[in-house]
Amino acid sequence: MESAARERFDNQAHNTQFNINTSIKAYTDVLRAAASYFQAGGEVTRESFHRYVGGLDLAQNYPAIDNINFAEYYTDAVRPAAEGRQRQIADQGYPAFVRHPAGVRREYAVLTLIEPLAGFSDRYGLDIAARPGVAEALFRARDQGTMSSSGQPIPLRSAPSHVGMAMRIPIYRNGMPTSTVAERRAACIGSVGLGFSVPRLVGAALAEMPVHAVRVTLHDSSTGAQPPILLFDSQPGAPHAGSEHFTSELPVQFHGRTWHAQFSVPKQELYSRFDQFLPLLAGSMGFGASVLIYALFVTLASSRRRAVKMARAMTRELRDSQARLQLSHHRLRRLAAHADHIKEEERKRIAREIHDDLGQNLLALRIEADILATRTEKSHPRLHARARATLHQIDNTIRSVRHIINDLRPNVLDLGLSAAVEWQIAQFRQRSGIKCEFIEDAIADNGVDDHCATAFFRVLQESLSNIHQHACATLVRVELHQSHGMLRMTISDNGIGINTASRHKAGSFGLVGIEERISLLGGNCSISSLSHGGTTVSIAVPVGFRAAPAEDMRLSA
């Protein structure tokens, strides 16, 4: 019962919050429309401004708005000329122009148009920039080209006890640039603004609530003042809400400022007659249901116990089997990862030993043979020929050694993944004669460790080997890029594709090896083949991922 009443109260509070925000937006739209009227071009006279505001019918459509006005901006240097122009305008019901409060200031913002004028004629000539806080908000909005509100409460002539708020938007001369602060200052002629009653605005939204005992208080805590400024209280003097009340606090946005609307209502106000009888009804139904369930339980207790015991035994056995299967699978994967790691490390070690020992010896032997061939070129022609033949044989041996090293682990991997991929593609083009395109984005090689780079390189090797042997392709495309913390590679061809039977053929482990390599790196692999031909292998691995260490294989025993 209480939860349902609480839900109704929360829905009503949110609806009222929405109505308040909607009213603030409507008044903001009125201000923007007035600004557009000034920006439309042509001179805005007192008569035309009077007709425009009269057409809005504020009392009927926007009852919280007190007045709409225009403030002319000018500096002290042009003040005499600006005030002289005002004194020369026909009255149209306006009093004689006198700027107030008096005093010399660097900049002025003087009200020169006010509608409705009745009740506000003494505001004509008021310099609203005389208050420092208001002036700061006005001229900051002018420099930024945005709507402004000082957030300071203003007195309302129509309701002195109400808290009022003002909004203003700067107006710039048509045709003048407004890209920079200096340009906006030079182009600004003033601002159009309006003042509205906060109690009338909130009261209109509150009137739509079906429960009229709800108390609403509106505070402005964005100023940092303690306690927060009270803008509205629908029940002034009422005691604070206690445990017998529903309460809810919701934010209301007002041009960069956050107001806090607190709703409270006695719980009894939200309880319907049905809610009051609901506990008794629920208790009776619960008691009857309990009796029926107890009878059923007594009837089926013995058979249920046997069934539960059997189900638990089967579940336990199934879970144990599943756990053993998962453990075995985990151990096999760790063993495979360990074996792959050892194989790559052994390849690297053998390649380096061949390079460092046999390669250096062959290089030294070639130097000696080259020296011998040079020195015997003229004096011993036959010995020179034998030396050149030996030199040629040494070069062939060096090429074979380089080929073996590259088959074991290409040295180009030490230059980064991108360089290794480009080298492998060049080797594929030379070996197969198939056109191969390489597309890459900027890759941060320092974020790709050797383990990940080796895995990507082996996947590329396996994919290109499959394409060469089985795909009958004429075009291959390799894409390599890094984005959003993921390193991605896509290998696609226009060959005959892969059927399902071929993927799962006994003794075929190439594609399985690709998927397993990427899975061990925490990535994902997708191998797809289109019906009209062509195959795409897509892999993605998180950059910086570290596979679980596999050196402690004693756990697998």
Question: Is the separation of the CB atoms in 161 and 177 below 8 Å?
Answer: no
Question: Is the separation of the CB atoms in 111 and 70 below 8 Å?
Answer: yes
10-residue averages of pLDDT along the chain (557 residues)? 82 91 92 90 85 92 92 93 87 85 93 89 90 89 87 70 86 91 93 91 86 87 76 85 88 86 86 66 84 82 81 89 84 73 76 77 83 83 86 85 75 81 90 91 70 87 89 91 88 86 62 82 87 88 67 43
| CA torsion angle 109 112 116 119 (round to 10) | 80
Distance CA 134, CA 148 (A): 10
Separation of first and last alpha carbons in the chain: 61
Sheet of 257-266, strands arranged across: 229-233, 215-220, 257-266, 245-254
Question: Is the separation of the CB atoms in 164 and 220 below 8 Å?
Answer: no
Q: What is the pTM of this model?
A: 0.49
Query: What digits encode the pLDDT tens for the residues 227-257?
Result: 788 888 888 888 888 888 889 999 998 877 8
Bridge partners, 220 (sequence order)? 229, 259
Handedness of CA 108, 112, 116, 117 (dihedral sign): positive
**Total Cβ atoms within 10 A of residue 53:** 23
Q: Quote the crossing angle between the two packed helices 273-353 and 510-520, to the nearest 10°.
A: 110
> What residues contact 14, with CB distance under 8 A and at least 6 apart?
250
* Total count of residues recorded for the chain: 557
| CA torsion angle 143 144 147 148 (round to 10) | -60
Q: What's the Cα-to-Cα distance from 489 to each of 55, 56, 184, 453, 537, rounded to whole Å? A: 65, 63, 51, 11, 8
| CA torsion angle 206 207 209 215 (round to 10) | 50
- pLDDT for residue 550: 45
101 preceded by a cis bond (ω within 30 of 0): yes
- pLDDT for residue 546: 61
Distance CA 357, CA 401 (A): 11
Question: Is the separation of the CB atoms in 535 and 471 below 8 Å?
Answer: yes
- pLDDT for residue 508: 59
Closest CA to 193 of 155, 138, 235: 138
- pLDDT for residue 505: 64
Question: Is the separation of the CB atoms in 507 and 545 below 8 Å?
Answer: no
Q: What's the Cα-to-Cα distance from 420 to each of 114, 423, 431, 488, rounded to whole Å? A: 76, 5, 16, 15
Distance CA 520, CA 456 (A): 12
DSSP string spanning 237-305?
Answer: TPPPP-TTEEEEEEEEEETTEEEEEEEEEEGGGG--HHHHHHHHHHHHHHHHHHHHHHHHHHHHHHHHH
Distance CA 257, CA 250 (A): 14
In Å, how far from its chain's centre is CA 394?
A: 62
